[in-house]
Amino acid sequence: MLQLLASCSFLTCNLVTNKDGNVFRVYGLASVCRYLLPNEDGVSLAPIFLLSQEKVNVDPWYHLKDCLLEGTLPFMKAHNAKNPFEYAMKDARRRNLFNQSMRNHTALVMKKILEIYKGFEEINQLVDVAGGLGANISLLVSKYPQIRGIYQLVYLFKSFVDFKNFLHN
Protein backbone atom coordinates (compact mmCIF):
# COMPACT_ATOMS: atom_id res chain seq x y z
CA MET A 1 0.00 0.00 0.00
CA LEU A 2 2.83 2.41 0.83
CA GLN A 3 4.43 1.80 -2.56
CA LEU A 4 1.10 2.51 -4.27
CA LEU A 5 0.71 5.78 -2.38
CA ALA A 6 4.30 6.70 -3.25
CA SER A 7 3.69 5.95 -6.93
CA CYS A 8 0.74 8.38 -6.81
CA SER A 9 2.94 11.04 -5.13
CA PHE A 10 1.06 11.01 -1.84
CA LEU A 11 4.18 9.72 -0.12
CA THR A 12 7.88 10.03 -0.77
CA CYS A 13 10.03 6.92 -0.86
CA ASN A 14 13.78 6.79 -0.38
CA LEU A 15 16.17 3.85 -0.18
CA VAL A 16 18.36 4.03 2.92
CA THR A 17 21.30 1.87 3.84
CA ASN A 18 21.79 1.26 7.54
CA LYS A 19 25.13 0.73 9.27
CA ASP A 20 24.92 -3.05 8.66
CA GLY A 21 24.64 -2.48 4.91
CA ASN A 22 20.97 -3.45 4.72
CA VAL A 23 18.88 -1.38 2.29
CA PHE A 24 15.32 -0.51 3.18
CA ARG A 25 12.64 1.95 2.14
CA VAL A 26 11.78 5.03 4.17
CA TYR A 27 8.43 6.68 3.49
CA GLY A 28 7.42 10.24 4.23
CA LEU A 29 4.58 12.62 3.50
CA ALA A 30 4.71 14.32 0.11
CA SER A 31 3.88 18.02 -0.22
CA VAL A 32 0.32 17.26 -1.36
CA CYS A 33 -0.39 15.89 2.14
CA ARG A 34 -0.26 19.38 3.58
CA TYR A 35 -3.79 19.80 2.20
CA LEU A 36 -4.98 16.70 4.03
CA LEU A 37 -3.47 17.61 7.39
CA PRO A 38 -4.90 20.37 9.60
CA ASN A 39 -3.21 23.73 9.00
CA GLU A 40 -2.50 26.42 11.61
CA ASP A 41 -6.26 27.16 11.73
CA GLY A 42 -7.10 23.49 12.28
CA VAL A 43 -8.74 22.97 8.87
CA SER A 44 -7.87 20.76 5.91
CA LEU A 45 -9.36 19.30 2.75
CA ALA A 46 -9.53 15.82 4.31
CA PRO A 47 -13.29 16.01 5.10
CA ILE A 48 -14.04 16.95 1.47
CA PHE A 49 -11.95 14.03 0.27
CA LEU A 50 -13.79 11.67 2.63
CA LEU A 51 -17.18 13.05 1.62
CA SER A 52 -16.48 12.70 -2.09
CA GLN A 53 -15.42 9.07 -1.70
CA GLU A 54 -18.47 7.92 0.23
CA LYS A 55 -20.62 5.32 -1.48
CA VAL A 56 -23.63 7.64 -1.24
CA ASN A 57 -21.80 10.13 -3.48
CA VAL A 58 -20.38 7.54 -5.86
CA ASP A 59 -23.67 5.70 -6.50
CA PRO A 60 -25.28 8.58 -8.45
CA TRP A 61 -22.56 8.31 -11.10
CA TYR A 62 -24.09 4.96 -12.07
CA HIS A 63 -27.39 6.72 -12.81
CA LEU A 64 -26.22 9.35 -15.28
CA LYS A 65 -27.93 7.42 -18.08
CA ASP A 66 -31.23 7.67 -16.19
CA CYS A 67 -30.72 11.40 -15.89
CA LEU A 68 -30.46 11.72 -19.65
CA LEU A 69 -33.18 9.25 -20.61
CA GLU A 70 -35.76 9.96 -17.90
CA GLY A 71 -34.97 13.51 -16.86
CA THR A 72 -34.42 12.50 -13.24
CA LEU A 73 -31.56 13.57 -11.02
CA PRO A 74 -28.91 10.89 -10.53
CA PHE A 75 -28.83 11.41 -6.76
CA MET A 76 -32.61 11.10 -6.56
CA LYS A 77 -32.56 7.91 -8.61
CA ALA A 78 -29.82 6.34 -6.50
CA HIS A 79 -31.23 7.25 -3.09
CA ASN A 80 -34.92 8.14 -3.45
CA ALA A 81 -34.14 11.62 -2.12
CA LYS A 82 -34.63 15.00 -3.74
CA ASN A 83 -31.04 16.13 -3.31
CA PRO A 84 -27.89 15.52 -1.25
CA PHE A 85 -28.98 18.08 1.35
CA GLU A 86 -32.28 16.30 2.05
CA TYR A 87 -30.40 13.03 2.29
CA ALA A 88 -27.84 14.49 4.69
CA MET A 89 -30.57 15.72 7.02
CA LYS A 90 -31.55 12.08 7.64
CA ASP A 91 -28.02 10.98 8.64
CA ALA A 92 -26.26 12.85 11.45
CA ARG A 93 -22.81 11.46 10.62
CA ARG A 94 -23.09 12.49 6.99
CA ARG A 95 -24.55 15.88 7.90
CA ASN A 96 -21.63 16.53 10.26
CA LEU A 97 -19.08 15.48 7.64
CA PHE A 98 -20.78 17.68 5.04
CA ASN A 99 -20.85 20.67 7.40
CA GLN A 100 -17.21 20.14 8.36
CA SER A 101 -16.27 19.88 4.68
CA MET A 102 -18.02 23.13 3.80
CA ARG A 103 -16.65 24.96 6.85
CA ASN A 104 -13.07 23.82 6.13
CA HIS A 105 -13.29 24.64 2.43
CA THR A 106 -14.71 28.07 3.20
CA ALA A 107 -12.00 28.78 5.75
CA LEU A 108 -9.22 27.80 3.35
CA VAL A 109 -10.59 29.74 0.39
CA MET A 110 -11.70 32.84 2.31
CA LYS A 111 -8.37 33.09 4.11
CA LYS A 112 -6.65 33.45 0.74
CA ILE A 113 -9.28 35.87 -0.54
CA LEU A 114 -8.98 38.04 2.57
CA GLU A 115 -5.18 38.12 2.18
CA ILE A 116 -5.43 39.50 -1.35
CA TYR A 117 -8.80 41.16 -1.95
CA LYS A 118 -9.32 44.58 -0.38
CA GLY A 119 -12.91 45.15 -1.53
CA PHE A 120 -14.37 44.62 1.95
CA GLU A 121 -12.50 47.55 3.50
CA GLU A 122 -15.23 50.06 2.63
CA ILE A 123 -18.21 47.87 3.51
CA ASN A 124 -20.13 48.61 6.70
CA GLN A 125 -22.93 46.05 6.46
CA LEU A 126 -23.05 42.63 4.83
CA VAL A 127 -25.96 40.18 4.57
CA ASP A 128 -25.09 36.49 4.49
CA VAL A 129 -27.99 34.72 2.77
CA ALA A 130 -28.05 30.92 3.12
CA GLY A 131 -24.59 31.06 4.65
CA GLY A 132 -24.45 27.51 5.92
CA LEU A 133 -22.75 27.55 9.30
CA GLY A 134 -21.70 31.18 9.00
CA ALA A 135 -17.99 30.62 8.32
CA ASN A 136 -17.81 33.31 5.61
CA ILE A 137 -19.50 36.06 7.56
CA SER A 138 -17.58 35.14 10.69
CA LEU A 139 -14.23 35.39 8.88
CA LEU A 140 -15.19 38.67 7.26
CA VAL A 141 -16.36 40.30 10.48
CA SER A 142 -13.25 39.15 12.35
CA LYS A 143 -10.96 40.63 9.66
CA TYR A 144 -13.04 43.81 9.19
CA PRO A 145 -14.61 44.77 12.54
CA GLN A 146 -16.43 47.74 10.97
CA ILE A 147 -18.66 45.28 9.08
CA ARG A 148 -21.98 44.57 10.71
CA GLY A 149 -22.81 41.02 9.66
CA ILE A 150 -26.46 40.17 9.11
CA TYR A 151 -27.02 36.44 9.21
CA GLN A 152 -30.12 34.87 7.73
CA LEU A 153 -30.15 31.44 9.39
CA VAL A 154 -31.45 32.15 12.90
CA TYR A 155 -31.10 28.60 14.22
CA LEU A 156 -27.32 28.87 13.85
CA PHE A 157 -27.02 32.38 15.24
CA LYS A 158 -26.39 31.15 18.79
CA SER A 159 -23.24 29.34 17.65
CA PHE A 160 -21.38 32.62 17.07
CA VAL A 161 -18.89 33.45 19.79
CA ASP A 162 -18.78 37.20 19.14
CA PHE A 163 -22.30 38.62 19.03
CA LYS A 164 -21.41 42.32 18.87
CA ASN A 165 -21.09 42.54 15.08
CA PHE A 166 -23.92 40.15 14.17
CA LEU A 167 -27.60 40.68 13.56
CA HIS A 168 -30.11 38.12 12.41
CA ASN A 169 -33.57 38.35 10.90
- 135-143 vs 92-116: helix crossing angle, rounded to 10: 30
Query: Per-residue pLDDT tens for 112-154?
Result: 999 999 999 999 998 887 667 778 888 899 999 999 888 776 5
The candidate with the shortest Cα–Cα distance to 128, out of 96, 166, 93, is 166
69-82 confidence digits (pLDDT tens): 998 889 888 988 77
Q: Are residues 29 and 83 in the same domain?
A: no
Residue 161 one-letter amino acid: V
Going from the C-alpha of 23 to that of each of 6, 70, 96, 98, the distances in angstroms are 18, 59, 45, 44
Tally of CB atoms within 10 A around 149: 23
Count of domains in the chain?
Answer: 3
Structural domain that includes position 3: 1-34
Instruction: Let me know whether 129 and 85 are in one domain.
Output: no
CA torsion sign for 8, 11, 17, 18 is negative
Quick one: 57 and 1 in the same domain?
Answer: no
